[in-house]
Amino acid sequence: MKIFLAFAVFFLSSFSFSQQIKYEGLWSGSMVLMGQSHELLLKVNKNKKKYEVHLLHPQDSTTMGLSADVVEIEKEKFEFAISAIGAKYKGVLNAEDVVIEGEFEQMGMKAPLSFHRERQEKKVVVRPQEPQPPFAYHTKEYTFKHISESLSFGGTLVLPEDTTEQFPILVFSSGSGAQDRNEEMLGHKPFLVIADYLARNGVGSFRFDDRGTGESEGVFQGTSLEQFATDLESAYGFVKAKFPDHPVGLIGHSEGGMHALMTAKKHDDVAFIISLAGPGTTGRQILEEQQYLMIIYDGKSEEMARWNQSTFSGMLDIIDEHSQTEATKLLTDFLSEQWDKAPEGATEGTTKLQFVMGLSTFLNNEFGRQFSKWDVKEYLPYIEVPVLSLIGSKDFQVPAESNSQGIKDNLSVASQKKSQVEILEGLNHLFQKCDVCNLTEYGELDETINPIVLEKLVKFVQSVTL
């Protein structure tokens, strides 16, 4: 899942202030929201005794950018909202009248943000695990062709320093959403961190940009789950052709775990599979569980969590029983009713039209339909290679208990002998050691992936290939 600010404001290199009364003039701020650093330039005017608030256009403070449609400024109180991007700010002017201290919120994501009269340097996002040179391994960029579509993909091959041995190689598959070969999200690059650790421990890897992302051709939007799986299949075929005598395995994160099982079922020469927070039940069960737990982990009420879960369950019932065309009106009617039943605060920051259209189009498409019907029982029992399944105990996106049990229950007899299924205590969906463990915290944590996960990956690969 990815959430971005709908604007990027760059601070003008210099500006001056004439003597002004309290709020009028330019204000500078910097914040980190969901792992991304943002510089903001705010202009406050007073027009006919009413305040106006504007976020200035990038690189040009003379051109207006986004204007607040709700402004509440009175005494020390300083608040505004920009409905077009689902953003709001609540602040208080300090006694010296030089700093507005408050909190920025967009689509439920919050970050502390202070506006100052002086220029504020862009905040630094700390990612201590990101690999830095010199690198004790070999890296080379490649392009490869899709097996059935006229598409070219860009990827990175990483080989250990000693290439004289028949070292194992892992082919990566990322989770939901358009991501580059590093699976970059919220300032983190988990696949880069994993590839670095593997190479330093004698394991090669190949990771590639999702279609329509980075150096890969195609269009991400509108691609089905089965098509995404063939992207991984194409990457696997490319690596296996280059290294026919090496054990080549698959590693998938979240939805990428689906791609790995779908590919391995078709190719019995896949040497092993690593599923990082990969599904072990059905797509439907995962959606229903996550839509309840997501609200609970965010500190909201049981009532809101049950309402959110029932909304998705009702949508899934309609999609299961009707064609895409038939479902369109049924979903509109159902979601309109759900809006009217929503607990207080459940639909804050969105309109009824946005709620209905957003959720309807989210699931009523080829990808959504394939995802909801996906069942681990159609793949895992037919795969006879070793499987490592790791899920964090605090994962609300792919809940640990049900999905780990589902993988255990569906391993083939041949696979069981060398497979491992583990729930890792205190880790979230990205395998970070978390505190509150909600969605917002992903980008706030410095840790990209817990070291114990990296250790377990290498030990497993060594155990099934040496």
pLDDT confidence bin for 64, thresholds 50/70/90: low
Q: Report how far residue 21's alpha carbon sits from residue 430's, in angstroms, rounded to the nearest whole number.
A: 47
pTM for the whole thing?
A: 0.87
Q: Report how far residue 313's alpha carbon sits from residue 30's, in angstroms, rounded to the nearest whole number.
A: 40
Q: Report how far residue 24's alpha carbon sits from residue 85's, in angstroms, rounded to the nearest whole number.
A: 24
> Measured at the alpha carbon of residue 427, what is the angle toward residues 425 and 430, in degrees to the nearest 5?
150
**Average pLDDT of the residues of the chain:** 92
Instruction: Render pLDDT for 233-273 as a digit per residue (tens, 0 to 9).
Output: 999 999 999 999 999 999 999 999 999 999 999 999 999 99
Q: Which long-range contacts (CB under 8 A, 24 or more apart) does 338-344 make?
A: 338/307, 338/310, 338/311, 338/314, 341/307, 342/307, 343/301, 343/303, 343/304, 343/307
Q: Report how far residue 322's alpha carbon sits from residue 331's, in angstroms, rounded to the nearest whole number.
A: 10
Burial of 382 (0-12, 13-18, 19+ CB in 10 A): middle
Gyration radius of the chain's alpha carbons: 25
pLDDT confidence bin for 7, thresholds 50/70/90: very low
227: left (phi over 0), alpha (psi -120 to 50) or beta: alpha
Q: Is residue 59 over pLDDT 50?
A: yes
Please confirm whether the linkage preceding 128 is cis (ω < 30° from 0).
Answer: no
Among 98-112, 227-241, 313-327, the least confident range: 98-112
pLDDT at 18: 34
pLDDT at 130: 96
Q: For the stretch 332-361, what's the b/e string if a residue is b when 16 or more beta carbons lie within 10 angstroms of its beta carbon?
A: eebbeebbeebeeebeeebeeeebbeebbe
Burial of 116 (0-12, 13-18, 19+ CB in 10 A): middle
Closest CA to 206 of 230, 177, 164, 174: 174
At 190, is the secondary structure helix, strand, or coil?
Answer: helix
Q: Report how far residue 427's alpha carbon sits from residue 453's, in angstroms, rounded to the nearest whole number.
A: 10
Backbone angles phi, psi at 186, to 5 degrees: 55, 35
Q: Is residue 9 over pLDDT 50?
A: no
Instruction: Render pLDDT for 347-359 as a digit per residue (tens, 0 to 9).
Output: 987 899 999 999 9
With a CB cutoff of 8 Å and minimum separation 6, the contacts of 303 are 343
Q: For the stretch 147-159, what's the b/e string if a residue is b when 16 or more beta carbons lie within 10 angstroms of its beta carbon?
A: eeeebebbbbbbb
Q: Report how far residue 291's alpha carbon sits from residue 308's, in angstroms, rounded to the nearest whole number.
A: 6
Whether 26 contacts 15, CB under 8 Å: yes
pLDDT confidence bin for 94, thresholds 50/70/90: confident
Q: Is residue 1 over pLDDT 80?
A: no
All structural domains of the chain, each given as residue ranges with its CATH number in brackets, are: 25-116 (2.40.128.120), 137-282+374-465 (3.40.50.1820), 284-370 (no CATH)
Determine the distance from the C-alpha atom of residue 137 to the mean position of all C-alpha atoms in its chain, rounded to a whole number: 28
Name the percent of the chain in helix, strand, coil, to the closest 5.
Answer: 35, 25, 40
CA distances to 4, 57, 125, 191, 441 from 33, rounded to whole Å, are 9, 19, 10, 22, 10
Among 226-240, 309-323, 345-359, 388-402, the least confident range: 345-359
pLDDT at 260: 98
156's enclosing H/E stretch is strand 152-160
pLDDT at 35: 83
Q: Is residue 435 over pLDDT 50?
A: yes
Sign of CA dihedral 337, 342, 346, 351: positive
pLDDT confidence bin for 61, thresholds 50/70/90: low
Backbone angles phi, psi at 261, to 5 degrees: -65, -40
pLDDT confidence bin for 21, thresholds 50/70/90: low
